[in-house]
Amino acid sequence: MNIAELTSRLHAIRDRNDWRQFHAPKNLAMAASVEMAELVEIFQWLSEDQSRTLQADKLEHAGQEIGDVVLYLLLLCSELGLDMEQVVRAKLADSERRFA
Dihedrals phi, psi of 19, to nearest 5 degrees: -95, -10
How far apart CA 20 and CA 23 sit, in angstroms, is: 5
- For 35-84, write each residue's pLDDT tens digit: 999 999 999 999 999 999 999 999 999 999 999 999 999 999 999 999 99
The amino acid at residue 70 is V
Residue 100 in this model has a pLDDT that exceeds 90: no
Dihedrals phi, psi of 24, to nearest 5 degrees: -65, 150
Instruction: Please tell me the predicted confidence (pLDDT) of residue 84.
Output: 97
Residue 1 in this model has a pLDDT that exceeds 90: no
Instruction: Give the residue extent of every domain in the chain.
Output: 3-99
What number is the average pLDDT over the span 5-34? 98
Residue 2 in this model has a pLDDT that exceeds 90: yes
Q: Determine contact, residues 30/22, Cβ cutoff 8 Å.
A: no
User: How many C-alpha atoms does 38 have within 13 Å on its Cβ side?
Assistant: 15
Work out the number of other CB atoms within 10 angstroms of the CB of residue 38.
Answer: 15
Express as a percent the part of the chain with pLDDT over 70: 100
Instruction: Please tell me the predicted confidence (pLDDT) of residue 54.
Output: 98
Could you tell me the fold of the domain covering 3-99?
Helix Hairpins (1.10.287)
